[in-house]
Chains A and B, each alone.
Chain A
Amino acid sequence: MSSTSVLGGVVRRREDPALIQGRGRYTDDVKLAGTAHVAFVRSPYAHAQVSSVDTSAAAAMEGVLAVYTAADTDHLGPLIAQVPVGALRPLLNSGTVKHVGEAVAMVVAEDPYVAKDAADAVDVDYEPLPAVVDLKQSLSDEVPVHEGASNTLISWVGPFGADEAALAELQEGIEAAKQRDDAVVVSQEMINQRLIPVPIEPRSVMADYQAGYDRFDIYSSTQIPSALAGAIGKYFGMSMNQVTVKAMEVGGGFGCKLNVYNDEVLVAFASRQLGCPVKWTETRREAANSTIQGRGWVATATVTGTEDGEILGFELEGIADMGAYSQNFTVAIPFLGLFVGSGQYSFPTYWKMDCVTTHTMTTDAYRGAGRPEAAYYLERIVDMYARRIGMDPAEVRRKNYISADDFPGAVSPMGFPMDTGDYATNLDAALETAGWSDLLAERDAARAEGRYVGVGLATYVEVCGFGPSGLVDLGFSWAEYQMPSAFNGSSLVRVHPDGSATVSIGTGPSGQGHQTTWAQIVGDGLGLDVERIRVIHGDTEEAPPSIGTFGSRSAAVDGAACYEATGKVRAKAARIAAHLLEASEEDIEFADGAAQVVGTDSSVSWGEIAACAYQPHRLPEGLEGGLEAHAIFSPGNATWPFGTHIAVVEVDPDTGDVDLLRYIGMDDCGNVISPMIVDGQIHGGIAQGIGQAMFEDAVYGADGNLLSGSLVDYILPTAADLPSFELDRTVTPSDINPLGVKGIGEAGTIGSAHTVVNAVVDALEPLGVTHIDMPLRPRRVWQAIQDARA
């Protein structure tokens, strides 16, 4: 089954033998002699004045090494962010705390159990203050989150780059359309609820400051090792080259490990102060209340169209919840939604999201990050419009797509150039795979029997593969980029003197299979077995500067750099091989671990080529010794994957229980390096979208207390809740990177939540239900049925 073809080959994952035998090394598995352990004292109030912090009892406990409060750490400044719009988080806060879970004090002890005991012994007095959790209330500024500042941090308005006159003209055009005789206007306010990312591995960090060497080893379950190294250096007046960050195995991230956290800085601080390694691993409750959350929008979507399915305008106006403090990308997340605000459609779109603070944990990137929210509103309202005019929802979509003929050169109504797209072909493929007309007939037959079966369809376009450094200059001050790191793809490919190869690369994977994918790219390029290729990632000492793994960017940006570095090595090896074989360079090809002269049996192995490369006297005149190459890849655009998803559900009208019967995904991420890994990414992405649609809900009470702070009340889908997924793909290669790949990490999530909601609403159409806010748990569905019947 082994194949080393770069495109489309299947190779069993090379990371798996360790992971399936319990030998994978995650951050919490690292043991260093003399390691001390941290526990945090966290606010139980959403908004309160801290009147006193008494650490004396804790500090006196046997085994406690130190107790730190804001007085000890304020000199370091607040937590830095890539997009520093809004109030930044204090590392520790002994003033006015702004959300449940905010860190007030840090205990360091010889033993983790003792650290927790001592944290319980820290006596903090709080004077509770009124909290604001509701987004509309926050928008009114009635209760300020930060004294003296408006709760609204920024408003994103699209199309991007349109001036006031252009926006006014756009809105007038849509208003005029509403006045047409044949106008159909469909509008709905919808909640895209807050979610907790929940990688199964809690975040963990260990800092080992080595005083005599004046350097740090930081072990962290981070997606952005390079940025963390830069940040730690800044806090302690050190250079990046004095800080080595090692992200070893990372047990899932989904965006929540794409922040530098205050705990990472504080653990490093404690290690420097105490002169020993210091470790902290969050509890699941801390993961819920002090690791970033996602989503949290309330918005009204409006479609204006004709009776025959031509959409004349789409408007989205709403509010997005930023939480109390801005962290790494916080206010930029809704901007990512603006990127795809008009989806794959050509109709005029007006889009406005106000980003407001609340007394809750910070929101930031969670799988999809702005794009699932944007797609949700668009695909729900287009579906409602189709239902209103009685037209097949697939036909309405097809009628309003950007045409394949518009590529290359298509610019979305939101003002962004798109790489490649063929939406109608993808839609047709999905309809055929699902057996669309049969599905509708089966649904109608079930309805005739009094059953509530529904078929839901949604399509999406995504924007991902960020790394074009010019693109990130859009709209806010990325120039202030606070963490020294490189916004590009980079890769170093080195052939060793024995003919084995190592690729070191700046990605920070958390389950995406990079050990395998990068080896496939290098192996294919060099004609070398993947077993002869080592991959080093997530280690800032070994890897060239890069930015990590997020935004479905790794293959399209760092993978492309890996491909280009491989090409450089191959070109040099071809010169050496031609010299050794007394042949022309153009006639050299690489396969099966050797270079061969085309059409002859004359060949030389990689081992012999490499040996020659490292004995420069044997090289052709003028050729430098060694056999390695570095490549930086900075694409000219992001990539724009797309797809169509279809779900079939049956609703039990007596209980409101939703049974997900079938789920079909037809995604297009351009060329595919490993179909096995790509399908796995889509499976997981779909499951997270279904999780939002049916189960997950980060609920804050009106007083700002987090009511879903454990996995008992934050409900994740289990194996028994999901069907096997039916996947297939269309392939529309990207033209902005040499691999023709797009990105697939988030696509499943961007396509799925609305697909499920569309299906459930379709099932309940005979009752007149037109919308139910997520999550579609039985009680909520049952209530919608009761309301409709009333």
Chain B
Amino acid sequence: MQVSMSVNGRQVSGDVEPRTLLVHFLREDRGLTGTHVGCESSYCGACTVKMDGKAVLSCTMLAVQAEGADITTVEGLAENGELHPVQEGFWERHGLQCGFCTPGMIISAVTLLEENDNPSEEEIRRGIEGNLCRCTGYHNIVRAIEYAGAKMRGEEPAPAEWENA
């Protein structure tokens, strides 16, 4: 089947089996391996991509269901060599260790902050509940999203915990 969609601002098309999952179309056909498969069951969130402004799970939807959609993957977040504030926050606040959940976590955080750029800690924690991380205990992911929120509001982020020590 022919499928076409916008991926990271580029119009792309491909010939896929009807059963091809969106994540496999992105990873195998488009070579965008930043989107990861962690559980094939909609539970871990590693495969999260942005589709028409919303965070969706690309491992449990078919490529053909994304026909005509506007998809953003983690590879499409940085613009003109400038990291997205959420990417910057993850780097500045040690929001990742092994990095495997990170692309999906970052996409979820981006959509969270697009809806609410000043979330409370509880709102952040609820907002990323669908993304599992096994390394960080989420502590520094929350700090990273707080950092990004401050940046997106044009404010100075709070200092890192280790800077206070």
A contact set with B: CB distance below 8 Å: 1, 10, 12-13, 15-17, 19-26, 28-29, 31, 113, 198-202, 249-254, 281, 283-284, 510-513, 675-677, 679-681, 683-688, 710-712, 716-720, 722, 724-725, 748
Contact = CB atoms under 8 A, between A and B. Distances in A.
B75 A199 contact: no
A20 B109 CA distance: 12
Interface in B120-134: 121-122, 124-126, 128-134
Nearest to B103: A22
A22 B160 CA distance: 24
Contact of A19 (B78, B99, B130, B134): B99
**Interface of A (DSSP majority class):** loop
Contacts of B124: 719
Interface residues of B, number: 63
B36 to A, nearest CB: 7
Interface stretch (B41-49, B50-58, B63-71, B150-158): B41-49
Contacts of B122: 720
B134 A684 contact: yes
B46 A200 contact: yes
Contacts of B83: 20-21
A688 B134 contact: yes
A686 B134 contact: no
Given A20-B102, A510-B98, A511-B97, A680 B41 contact: no
Given A199-B100, A719-B125, A251 B36 contact: yes
A28 B46 CA distance: 14
Contacts, number: 184
B17 A113 contact: yes
A530 B144 CA distance: 23
B114 interface: no
Given A201-B98, A251-B100, A687-B136, 13 more contacts: A1-B163, A10-B162, A19-B96, A20-B99, A21-B78, A22-B34, A200-B44, A251-B99, A281-B37, A680-B97, A711-B41, A717-B137, A748-B137
B43 A710 contact: yes
Nearest to B139: A683
B5 interface: no
Contacts of B7: none
Nearest to B165: A675
Interface in B65-96: 73-75, 77-78, 83, 87, 90-92, 94, 96
Contact of B75 (A22, A251, A719): A22
A200 B98 contact: yes
Nearest to A283: B40
A730 to B, nearest CB: 13
A510 B135 CA distance: 10
A720 B129 contact: yes
A201 B94 contact: no
A725 B35 CA distance: 29
Contacts of A722: 125, 137-139
B134 A716 contact: yes
Nearest to B122: A720
Contacts of A719: 124-126, 128-129, 131, 133, 138, 141-142
B105 to A, nearest CB: 9
Contacts of B113: none
A249 B138 CA distance: 20
A202 B38 contact: yes
Contacts of B32: 22
25 contacts: A1-B163, A17-B91, A20-B99, A21-B74, A21-B87, A22-B32, A22-B103, A25-B33, A201-B38, A201-B100, A252-B100, A252-B134, A284-B38, A284-B44, A511-B135, A513-B97, A683-B140, A687-B138, A716-B132, A719-B129, A719-B138, A720-B122, A720-B126, A720-B129, A722-B137
Contact of A284 (B41, B77, B163): B41
A200 to B, nearest CB: 5
Contact of B132 (A29, A200, A283): A200
A22 B94 contact: no
A19 B102 contact: yes
A17 B43 CA distance: 26
Contacts of B41: 284, 710-712
A541 to B, nearest CB: 23
Nearest to B96: A19
Top 3 nearest A-B pairs (CB, nearest first) are A22-B34, A251-B100, A511-B98
Given A24-B99, A719-B129, A724 B162 contact: no
Nearest to B132: A716
A686 B135 CA distance: 10
Nearest to A25: B33
B101 interface: yes
A268 to B, nearest CB: 23
A104 to B, nearest CB: 21
